[in-house]
Amino acid sequence: MINLGMASLRLYAGLVGCRSGFCARSLRTLSGMTVSQGTRDYNPKQMAIREKVFNTIISCFKRHGAENIDTPVFELKETLTGKYGEDSKLIYDLKDQGGELLSLRYDLTVPFARYLAMNKVTNIKRYHIAKVYRRDNPAMTRGRYREFYQCDFDIAGQYDPMIPDAECLKIVHEILSELELGDFRIKVNDRRILDGMFAVCGVPDDKFRTICSTVDKLDKMSWEDVRSEMVKEKGLSEEAADQIGQYVSLQGGMDLAERLLQDAKMSQSKQACAGLTDMKQLFSYLQLFQVTDKVVFDLSLARGLDYYTGVIYEAILTQTGPVPVAAAQNGAGEKAEEGVSVGSVAGGGRYDGLVGMFDPKGRKVPCVGVSIGIERVFSIMEQKAEASAEKVRTTETQVMVASAQKNLLEERLRLTAELWNAGIKAEVMYKKNPKLLSQLQHCEDSGIPLVAILGEQELKDGVVKLRTVHSREEIDVSRAKLVEEIKRRTLDV
């Protein structure tokens, strides 16, 4: 029976506003050995896959010169309020704990902006990997949870236009390519282009954000449904909605930005022209970074978060084969030019005004960043591992110290200690007189590549019999050279 402890139970009980509620029934569910909705446990195989993905992402972030930071898992409620548009309803609030109204963090971007303002940081390239919390309707098969990791990379500081933005897109391209998840596209747009488009199409100023949130649903809903929501629920005129429809169907690259700069309506908006000029500059840098083969300028991309002020982007996995069962069941089978969309795996953009919201004097720090949708990546990697015959190792043990005869426990422990002290990852079986077959079987099951076998004759000769598990080849190695030989044979472990 798992003992959560009273403090942990109080924290769980402090979560309020959850759509499913948290009550005595939820506590009974916990005692019944299940986890709460939208969360999950991870077994060693799953954790090995996650660690591999994390290492790939962190390596990329470090390759681009990023530093690591951390922030509290909960923030003052006022810190998070009003930053996420219609998604603010998904924030987990905590009960009053003695005067402070607190909420679990919804993402890592707003806490980062608060960190910059509070610590008067005006220049940093940082990454942050941590859990966030959302009162969303979970879809476990698509990697949508209420508790999940985000992997963020952000560049804060005053720089020339589009250079940091282009690097963020390059990072997305590198990570998705290295993880080998399948074909992908990175859609880009600009909030200034969107706002300019809304203005020339006749959208009232006070409806910009709410219409933007509706346009953001185009990856999940048909244009007819989006148009219906804009007209019937948001009160937009049919004429304005139809004009928006003509623009949000457009996709291209630098050529599209050039064409829109000549567009009779869009050219009337200074805001849109500024965004389109920067979009041209962005694509020129992306050409230098050699990533334009995967990047498309897409006017339907909106991203509903209120804090974006400039370039926005989203990476989507596509495939040319059949839609996976899990994806088909969750409505992820929308047709795309390159294949079938199976969901967003990264997103981000520029948010130049967010830090100023937390600074007493309103001082702004321009920022741009990207967040990798790591849970969806994990789900895909786990499905690939299940479909593959390749065994996933859950430990990094290089060698098992075994004995072929009885009464050699002390010698096994002595050799194991020598290996540990030399930095070798070694295991020993916790029995006085284990059978050799059992020790070898453990290596087979765990994927341990080598076995160091001790016997009375080996002890007399000052050697260790080193066995390669997969080939069953055995050689005698002198005790003095054992560490060197193990390292040589396990360079890739």
Q: Is 242 annotated as a binding residue?
A: no
Amino acid type, 121: V
> Binding site annotation covers 271?
no
CA distance 221 to 266: 26
Task: Determine if residue 134 is labeled as part of a ligand binding site.
Answer: yes
350 in a labelled binding site: no
- Per the CB < 8 A criterion, the answer to whether 436 and 385 are in contact is no
Please state, in angstroms and rounded to a whole number, the distance separating the CA atoms of residues 108 and 116.
Answer: 12
15 annotated to bind ligand: no
Q: Is 395 annotated as a binding residue?
A: no
Report whether 191 belongs to an annotated binding site. no
φ, ψ (nearest 5 deg) of residue 430: -85, 50
190 labelled ligand-binding: no
Q: Per the annotation, does 227 bind a ligand? A: no
**103, 93 contact by CB (below 8 A):** yes
Residue numbering of the annotated binding site: 107-109, 134, 150, 154, 303, 307-308
Residues that constitute the known binding site for L-histidine: 107-109, 134, 150, 154, 303, 307-308
